[in-house]
Amino acid sequence: MTQQIPIQDGLFTWPSAQPELLGSRCDHCGEASFPSQPDCRNCGSRETSVVPIGSRGTLWTWTIQSFMPKDPYRSDETPETFTPYGVGYVEMPGGVRVESRLQLPEGEKPEIGMSLDLVIEPFRTEEDGTQIMMFSFKPTEE
Amino acid sequence: MQFAYGGSQDAGNADALVNELGLTGLQFTNIWNGCATGGSSLNAAYTAIKSGEYDLGVVVGFDKHPRGAFNPKPAEWGLDDWYGEAGMMLTTQFFAMKTQRYMHDHGITNDALVRVAEKAFHNGSLTPTAWRRQALSYDEIASSMMVSDPLRKYMFCSPAEGGAALILCDAKIAKRYTSNPIYLSAAAVRTRHYGSFEVFSPSQPMQVADAPTVTASKAAFELAGLGPEDIDVLQLQDTDSGTEIIHMAENGFCEHGDQEKLLRDGATRIDGSLPINTDGGCLANGEPVGASGLRQVHEICVQLRGDGGARQVPGNPKVGYTHVYGAPGISGVNILTV
């Protein structure tokens, strides 16, 4: 069986039937951050807690990355196989806007305000066959 | 000279210049502050002279960047590797997303983005020291390759290469060295607050705070005892078309959304009421980040001395303004007078 590991521990709940992003919330002012951090970037408090910040959000802004980024970008792509991808900030119910790759039907442009759902999928495969799992967002299907 | 501040991001230690120029034993301090490096170097020299410690020094900046967009390493910006590996740590993406949201909120259209670039390359064609000296037509810009929606190839500057140096002294002794000194009336550098939308941010708070450009601009105007209405010629950070538009309002020169009409009316051209980036800005000069903020100040000095030649702003401009913005959320503003 293929081994799968997250691109970074602590970004999302996984494996899980309904994965969620993980952030932190300040115990004093209540502001949220993604990824989680030990100190609050709003009030400077040193007391924060790791909390789920949701799996469905709305798009706040976006762009399309049309050229293959240089290092430190690490995917399985080559300049020949690279396909443009969406990037945006997604407003989460946990009270923070999270930057994420967007998976869009080919040729379709995102729209500010559209509903998006979190997906955790393989992003690249290491030489030993280990799949690196990464979060992204897809348009809500309903 | 009594001291130097110098900056370079990708072309090595600025102090190493001295090995080529001649050794003097004087204090030389390197500055490294992202795209605001030049602005920060000048600010440091301003502070050194104002403090009374020194009365004559040099500020120098240079850079030579690899072709294409910057490729910063996450660890150098306090971020984990996944952010860069996943393809989200690009300045081009950030400026495109800030522009995208700004257009949505304030009714700015693609027409305005094209007009900024059209003006920049026209001004570059009049500037002997510019890197891109060929004017481009509206259609050439509007149909150029889409790089990061809504920004196209000719709406972005290239990092490129270049250098600049400025000599500063105490205003009281300036006439010893030149008959037409330019006075640095204010220099202010500010960083981001919680809630401003900044480059290299894996997440953004929901609450919105003023950008560091807004706070640096207000501080500089207060220091100089002047307001936006007093400025005759200005340089605004234009790493891309959208950014120049946003910076017009963030620096207090118009209301958010008014840029569309100002650009359509040609107000920001050399002969307009609000001449911006008269040497073609970053779009036509590239953005060697150690030098770029100093290049802006150089251009204002040229304009205030009336040495602009084909690109001279008419009417003897007397007050100039420069502004840089850099990662991870820094702005530097200078106000210059004759």
Contact A47, A20 (CB under 8 A): no
B76 lies within 8 A of chain A by CB: no
Give the strand order in the sheet containing B27-31: B27-31, B3-7, B56-64, B161-169
* Residues of chain B neighbouring A33 (CB-CB closer than 8 A): 203
Q: Which of A88-97, B4-13, B44-53, B141-150 has the lowest mean pLDDT?
A: B4-13
Q: Which of A46-55, A106-115, B123-132, B213-222 has the lowest mean pLDDT?
A: A106-115
| Token representation of residue B286 | 């590239």
Rounded Cα–Cα distance for residues B199 and B191 (Å): 12
Rounded Cα–Cα distance for residues A134 and B134 (Å): 44
Q: Give the torsion through C-alpha atoms of B255, B258, B260, B264, to 10 deg.
A: -120
Rounded Cα–Cα distance for residues B302 and B338 (Å): 11
Contact A13, A19 (CB under 8 A): yes
B101 lies within 8 A of chain A by CB: yes
Contact A132, A7 (CB under 8 A): yes
CA distances from B17 to B12, B196, B290, B291 (A): 9, 37, 13, 14
Q: Where are the alpha helices (H) located in chain B, listed in sequence order?
A: 17-21, 37-50, 81-85, 91-106, 110-125, 138-142, 212-224, 241-250, 259-264, 281-285, 289-304
The CATH number of the structural domain formed by B3-337 is 3.40.47.10
* pLDDT at residue A1, as a whole number: 67
Considering only alpha carbons, which residue of chain A is nearest residue B104? A112
Rounded Cα–Cα distance for residues B30 and B32 (Å): 7
pLDDT digits (tens, 9 = 90+) for B254-275: 999 999 999 999 999 999 999 9
Contact B198, B214 (CB under 8 A): no
The nearest CA of chain B is from the CA of A127 a distance in Å of: 16
* Residues of chain B neighbouring A96 (CB-CB closer than 8 A): 203-206
Q: What's the average model confidence in pLDDT over B71-86?
A: 91
Q: Where are the domains of chain B?
A: 3-337
Decide if pLDDT at B26 tops 70.
Answer: yes
A contact test, residue of B82, B102, B106, B144 with most A CBs within 10 A:
B82
The nearest CA of chain A is from the CA of B8 a distance in Å of: 21
- Residue ranges of E strands in A34-108: 48-54, 56-65, 85-92, 96-102
Asked if A65's CB is within 8 angstroms of B148's CB, the reply is: yes
* Residues of chain A neighbouring B100 (CB-CB closer than 8 A): 61-63, 112
The nearest CA of chain B is from the CA of A1 a distance in Å of: 24
B82 lies within 8 A of chain A by CB: yes
Rounded Cα–Cα distance for residues B146 and B151 (Å): 6
Contact B83, B29 (CB under 8 A): no
Closest CA to B226 of B122, B95, B337, B107: B337
Residues near B54 by beta carbon (within 8 Å), at least 6 away in sequence: B2, B3, B48
Closest CA to B133 of B308, B3, B280: B280
Asked if A134's CB is within 8 angstroms of B100's CB, the reply is: no
Q: What's the average model confidence in pLDDT over B197-211?
A: 94
Considering only alpha carbons, which residue of chain A is nearest residue B94? A63
* Residues of chain B neighbouring A75 (CB-CB closer than 8 A): 85, 87
* Residues of chain B neighbouring A7 (CB-CB closer than 8 A): 82, 85-86
Helix, strand, coil shares, percent, chain A, to 5? 0, 45, 55
Asked if A35's CB is within 8 angstroms of B204's CB, the reply is: no
Contact A138, A114 (CB under 8 A): no
pLDDT digits (tens, 9 = 90+) for B149-197: 999 999 999 888 999 999 999 999 999 999 999 999 999 999 999 999 9
Rounded Cα–Cα distance for residues A48 and A38 (Å): 6
Element holding B184 (H helix, E strand): strand B183-191
Closest CA to B149 of A7, A19, A111, A129: A111
Q: How distant is the alpha carbon of residue B265 from its chain centre? A: 24
Contact B280, B235 (CB under 8 A): no
Residue B61 β-bridge partners: B7, B164
Asked if A88's CB is within 8 angstroms of B101's CB, the reply is: no
Which amino acid is residue A141, in one-letter code? E
Asked if A11's CB is within 8 angstroms of B81's CB, the reply is: no
Flag residues of chain A having pLDDT under 50.
none
B255 lies within 8 A of chain A by CB: no
Decide if pLDDT at B8 tops 80.
Answer: yes
Instruction: Return the number of other C-beta atoms located less than 10 Å from residue A141's C-beta.
Output: 6
* Residues of chain B neighbouring A76 (CB-CB closer than 8 A): none
Considering only alpha carbons, which residue of chain A is nearest residue B75? A72
- DSSP output for B186-228: EEEEEE--TT---SS-SEEESS----HHHHHHHHHHHHHT--G
Asked if A41's CB is within 8 angstroms of B194's CB, the reply is: yes
pLDDT digits (tens, 9 = 90+) for B235-255: 999 999 999 999 999 999 999
**For chain A, which residues lie within 8 Å of any Cβ of chain B, measuring from their own Cβ?**
7-8, 11, 23, 31-35, 41-42, 60-67, 69-75, 85, 87-89, 91, 95-101, 109, 112, 123, 134
Instruction: Return the number of other C-beta atoms located less than 10 Å from residue A53's C-beta.
Output: 25
Q: Which of B11-25, B83-97, B188-202 has the lowest mean pLDDT?
A: B11-25
